[in-house]
Amino acid sequence: MKPLWSSFLVMILASFGLNWLWEMVQMPAYREMAGRPWSDTLELCTIATLGDVLFTVLVYGVGALAAGDVRWGIPGKWNIYATAALLGAAVASVVEWRALAAGRWSYTDRMPIVPLLEVGLWPFLQLTLLVPAAVRIAVWWSGRAS
């Protein structure tokens, strides 16, 4: 078993890589970024990605606090990934609601809207899928033979 700190580091790095790529790909669905070259969105996407990493660590921390175990995610059972996905979805929804209400960003017609939640599908799926994916990569890393 790898040390816990290395699993956290892998989770953070995986979260950064996955979220940065997602941020770059979804930019045309935001009115403020649509039509701009990728080089113009690089800085903004990197800053947004740092927030996504923070949310990933926050979700892991909430799970660890609820379980009373800092190694909460390491066993890699289905309920851990489901919990991470549900918490990621909740965080994504709150972030989108607040940003849309504050006028920080808006969507183009390329952004499907999640019914009832009234948030963009791409940012909603982002944390719903990538938080458990980053945890899964950390689980894989921690289980590798030394």
Domain ranges for the chain: 4-143
Q: What is the pTM of this model?
A: 0.92
Query: Tens of pLDDT along 114-134?
Result: 999 999 999 999 999 999 999
Question: 39-51 pLDDT, tens per residue?
Answer: 899 999 999 999 9
Give me the long-range contacts of 19-22 (CB less than 8 A, separation at least 24): 19/48, 19/49, 19/52, 19/53, 19/56, 19/126, 19/130, 20/45, 20/46, 20/49, 22/122, 22/126, 22/130
